Amino acid sequence: MEIERKFLIKELPDLKLYPRKRIKQGYISTDPVIRIRQMNDTCCVCLKSQGHMIREEFELGITKEQCDALWNKVDNPPVEKIRYFIPLEGDLTAELDIYAGRLEGLLTVEVEFPSPMDASNFTPPDWFGADITHDNRYKNNYLSVYGMPS
């Protein structure tokens, strides 16, 4: 089970302080979500149920060769982004995504929670912008098909 909330960015923190990874992902299917992702040199395929804040999710590690072979099942261009991992209070981590390619200019941040109550009680830091947890247009499967939200 994946419990998370997603926000836009009001003000970028100083990114030099935090670890980052390069992500390239594509969707074999967007409904249900069947996603392949390469994060630095690590690849996985992921199956997700529909939903906003709470979703079932299963991720399976695969080799680079398996991942490369699965790209021919992806119809839309890949979503590419740099993800920064920023520690927050309460042992939480903000995953800040800076998109590239045709999504350049888009910035979002996600936080994963141990329980729905933790998610509801979360007070976003000042640098977080609007809560887009329930806005389909910012889901990466929608972004891969429809591009930048207008």
Site string for a copy of itself, 112-131 (x = CB under 8 A): --------------------
- Per the CB < 8 A criterion, the answer to whether 25 and 37 are in contact is yes
Give 102-122 as a DSSP string: GGTT-EEEEEE-SSHHHHHH-
Tokens of 34: 């069947």
Give kind and range of the element (H or E) at residue 67: helix 64-70
Q: Pick between residue 35 and residue 81 the one whose CB is nearest to a copy of itself.
A: 35
- 1 part of the interface to a copy of itself, by CB under 8 A: no
Interface with a copy of itself (CB under 8 A), residue from 4, 66, 88, 118: 66
Angle ∠(81,85,86) on CA atoms, nearest 5: 130
Would you count residue 32 as binding a copy of itself (CB under 8 A)? yes
Is 27 among the catalytic positions? yes
The answer to the question of residue 45 lying near a copy of itself (CB under 8 A) is yes
Return the residue of 69, 117, 145, 148 that touches a copy of itself, per CB under 8 A.
Answer: 69
- If DSSP codes are grouped into helix, strand and coil, which group holds residue 15? helix
For the beta carbon of residue 125, count every other beta carbon within 10 angstroms.
16
Q: Does 71 bind a copy of itself (CB under 8 A)?
A: no
Catalytic residues: 27
**Binding footprint of a copy of itself on the chain (CB under 8 A):** 28-29, 31-32, 34, 45, 47-49, 56, 58, 60, 62, 66, 69-70, 73
